């Protein structure tokens, strides 16, 4: 190699030259073995090349290697050079500690065109700039963080898109934050729902505006620039209002303003007292947008419900419509009563209908079937075989509701809903197919009712309900079967008990639903007593052997006294 030799000063334009056999490959490597330039010796046996990419300014270790056509490698030069007029090394030069202000300049170096970003500890970008042609960069923070300790991270990103962290430093910001203040509108001003309320304060603090009742009308967070602004939402109704403005826990203003162009005050406008109405009559009024309107009868039954529109108006019809005749109505807007009026209803008695569930929907044993009718009507729900699954009478408010009992099995089920009028006429309300889910039959012991009488004779019948096909076994204290049954297709079971010996005993019941494990339940302690009603019942613990002998002497049919009952699920 002829030039430049190690310990020379070089620039990005310096040409490395030398001589070698034709077709020899010349490569210049940095200290990490990364190629910075390569060329092939020409026919004149000379070579030349520049470094690309050029190293950054400063001391750089370079090795020049020649690889001949026979694969032999020879080091032509190996040493340090001093690079000038290239890119500067990536660096953050300051500030590194102490206090800063919004005017503090942050500086550093890097390769021209690289992007520098300064972020706070939360990742919010506070400054960004580009490295200049001279390899230097500078920027101030914008937005400026609030006064106090601030953690800053400085990153630089090159053309490869890979970000490198230059610094992670903690500084103290001074002279930044604004005082907590309310700037307008002022007391006495007229405002609209679009009026912007403004002020200043510490970044991140919460600003809240409330009315005289403490209802929140607006809330926002102070921005990084120390200012805040908001509109009132919900806007109060038209008229005069006293407002309270707080920042954090500090009350900063109590302006009184006049609202225009907002919602109207809650009110009822008609029909008027004593008017005749029908199920189609529209009831109207005003209120604040979004407020709930409820119309109830004198018994508190809800006959209509709606929401005030964006124009401050509301309207609704009564559903269910009350029965014909005089009706007392209570109208509430936003939970407050605005009217107590009386009207005369006509044309409502023919409003017989099914409201829920919808057509061809999915139902469960808890699904409520409901609708409208005439007081005294009887609603009957039947399956496709005509079996009654629900029956209820229409109430005084003209509504009815019921669930299915017994609930049909899971799967599609055809249901017919009919109303039988007081005159005996039958009106079909619906003939729908529903999909039953979650249907199970609760296992119960219904009789005998031992809460009313503890006397049960051998031969008396235990009965109850359960899932069809369920086996039922009743046993005594020794596990001896004294009764058994299987739940029939209608969900009923019954069995007489027999074979209980005289004396202390206890009963248990085990039922097994098809496809499930057996479930056993203790029915409690009993005492077997004589069937002769003239024979006094004795507690064997008191009477001892004599008592038992007396019972045995009676020698007749036995009774069971049980001290508690059980219903299993």
CATH number, domain with residue 206: 2.60.40.3580
pLDDT for 544: 37
User: Are the C-beta atoms of 203 and 223 separated by less than 8 Å?
Assistant: yes
Partners of 390 in beta bridges? 381
Residues 432 and 527 in one domain: no
Residue 2 lies in a domain: no
pLDDT for 465: 84
Other residues' Cβ atoms within 10 Å of the Cβ of residue 103: 9
Last residue of a domain, one of 323, 345, 367: 345
Supply 252's token pair.
Answer: 């900063």
Residues 338 and 426 in one domain: no
The pTM of the full predicted model, rounded to 2 decimals, is: 0.31
pLDDT for 531: 60
Residue 568 lies in a domain: no
Q: How far apart are CA 89 and CA 83, in angstroms?
A: 11
Partners of 184 in beta bridges? 198
pLDDT for 529: 61
Structural domain containing residue 245: 181-259
pLDDT for 565: 33
How many Cα atoms within 13 Å fall on the side-chain side of residue 550? 15
Q: How far apart are CA 143 and CA 148, in angstroms?
A: 15
Other residues' Cβ atoms within 10 Å of the Cβ of residue 338: 18
Residues 119 and 202 in one domain: no
Distances (CA, A) of 334 to 196, 216, 263, 292: 26, 16, 13, 5
pLDDT for 299: 84
Residues 422 and 469 in one domain: no
User: Are the C-beta atoms of 474 and 506 separated by less than 8 Å?
Assistant: no
Residue 76 lies in a domain: yes
Residues 370 and 389 in one domain: yes
Query: At 472, which CATH number?
Result: 2.60.40.10
Tell me how far apart the 2 most distant CA atoms of the chain are, in Å: 141
Residue 4 lies in a domain: no
Residues 105 and 51 in one domain: no
Residues 457 and 554 in one domain: yes
Residues 452 and 556 in one domain: yes
Domain count of the fold of the chain: 6
Residues 161 and 196 in one domain: no
Last residue of a domain, one of 307, 322, 345: 345
Residues 458 and 554 in one domain: yes
pLDDT for 530: 56
Residues 430 and 490 in one domain: no
Residue 510 lies in a domain: yes
Last residue of a domain, one of 345, 361, 392: 345
Residue 540 lies in a domain: yes
Residue 567 lies in a domain: no
Q: Which among 185, 252, 242 has a CA at the least distance from the CA of 213? A: 242
Residues 460 and 540 in one domain: yes
Residue 1 lies in a domain: no
User: Are the C-beta atoms of 146 and 168 separated by less than 8 Å?
Assistant: no
- Give me the DSSP letters along 145-198: PPSEEEEEEEEEE-TT--EEEEEEEEEEE-S-PPPPEEEESPTT-EE-TTPPEE
One digit per residue, pLDDT tens: the chain, 569 residues? 999 999 999 999 999 999 999 999 999 999 999 999 999 999 999 999 999 989 988 899 999 999 999 999 999 999 999 998 888 889 999 999 999 999 999 999 998 899 999 999 999 999 999 999 888 999 999 988 877 899 999 999 998 899 999 999 999 988 777 788 999 999 999 999 999 999 988 888 999 999 999 999 999 999 877 789 999 998 888 889 999 999 999 999 999 999 988 877 889 999 999 999 988 899 999 988 889 999 999 888 889 999 998 778 899 999 878 878 889 999 999 999 999 999 998 877 556 788 889 877 899 888 999 988 878 889 999 999 999 999 999 887 778 999 998 888 788 899 999 999 887 888 888 889 999 887 766 688 888 876 777 777 888 889 988 888 899 999 988 899 999 999 988 788 999 999 888 777 788 899 998 888 898 988 777 766 656 533 334 333 333 333 333 333 223 223 333 333 333 44
pLDDT for 554: 29
């Amino acid at each position: 190699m002829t030039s430049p030799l190690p310990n020379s000063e070089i620039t990005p334009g310096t040409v490395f030259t030398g001589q070698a056999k034709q077709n020899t490959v010349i490569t210049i490597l940095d200290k990490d073995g990364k190629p910075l330039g390569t060329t092939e010796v020409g026919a004149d046996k000379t070579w030349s090349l520049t470094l690309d990419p050029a190293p950054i300014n400063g001391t750089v270790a370079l090795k020049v290697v020649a690889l001949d056509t026979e694969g032999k490698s020879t080091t032509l030069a190996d040493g340090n050079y001093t690079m000038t007029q290239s890119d500067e090394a990536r660096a953050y030069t300051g500030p590194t500690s102490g206090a800063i202000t919004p005017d503090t300049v942050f500086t550093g170096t890097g390769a021209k065109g690289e992007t520098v970003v300064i972020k706070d500890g939360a990742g919010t970008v506070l400054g960004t700039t580009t490295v200049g042609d001279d390899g230097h960069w500078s920027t101030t923070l914008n937005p400026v963080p609030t006064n106090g300790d601030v953690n800053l991270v400085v990153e630089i990103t090159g053309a490869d898109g890979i970000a490198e962290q230059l610094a992670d430093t903690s500084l103290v910001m001074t002279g930044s934050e604004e005082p907590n203040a309310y700037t307008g509108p002022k007391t006495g001003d007229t405002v609209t729902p679009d009026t912007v309320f403004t002020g200043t304060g510490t970044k991140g603090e919460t600003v809240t505006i409330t009315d005289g009742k403490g209802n929140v009308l607006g809330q926002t967070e102070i921005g990084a620039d120390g200012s805040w602004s908001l509109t009132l939402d919900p806007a109060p109704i038209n008229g005069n209002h006293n407002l309270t403005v707080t920042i954090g826990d500090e009350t900063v203003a109590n302006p009184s303003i006049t609202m225009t162009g907002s919602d109207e005050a809650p009110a009822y406008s008609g029909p008027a007292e004593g008017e005749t109405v029908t199920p189609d009559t529209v009831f109207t009024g005003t209120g604040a947008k979004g407020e709930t309107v409820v119309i109830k009868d004198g018994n508190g039954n809800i006959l209509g419900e709606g929401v005030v529109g964006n124009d401050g108006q509301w309207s609704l019809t009564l559903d269910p419509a009350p029965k014909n005749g005089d009706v007392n109505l209570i109208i509430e807007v936003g939970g407050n009563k605005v009217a107590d009026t009386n009207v005369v209803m006509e044309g409502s008695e023919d409003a017989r209908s099914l409201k829920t569930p919808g057509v061809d929907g999915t139902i469960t044993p808890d699904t409520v079937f409901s609708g409208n009718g005439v007081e005294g009507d009887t609603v009957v729900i039947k399956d496709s075989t005509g079996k009654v699954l629900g029956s209820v009478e229409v109430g005084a408010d003209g509504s009815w509701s019921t669930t299915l009992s017994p609930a049909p099995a899971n799967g599609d089920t055809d249901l017919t809903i009919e109303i039988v009028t007081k005159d005996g006429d039958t009106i079909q309300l619906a003939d729908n197919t529903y999909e039953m889910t979650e249907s199970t039959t609760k296992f119960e012991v219904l009789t005998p009712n031992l809460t009313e009488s503890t006397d049960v004779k051998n031969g008396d019948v235990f009965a109850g309900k359960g899932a069809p096909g369920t086996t039922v076994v009743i046993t005594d204290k020794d596990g001896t079967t004294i009764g058994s049954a299987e739940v029939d297709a209608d969900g009923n079971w019954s069995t007489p008990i027999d074979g209980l010996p005289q004396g202390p005993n206890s009963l248990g019941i085990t039922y097994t639903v098809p496809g499930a494990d057996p479930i056993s339940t203790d029915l409690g302690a009993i005492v077997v007593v004589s069937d002769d009603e003239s024979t006094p019942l004795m507690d064997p613990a008191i009477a001892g052997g004599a008592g038992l002998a007396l019972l045995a002497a009676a020698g007749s049919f036995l009774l069971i006294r049980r001290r508690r009952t059980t219903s299993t699920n």
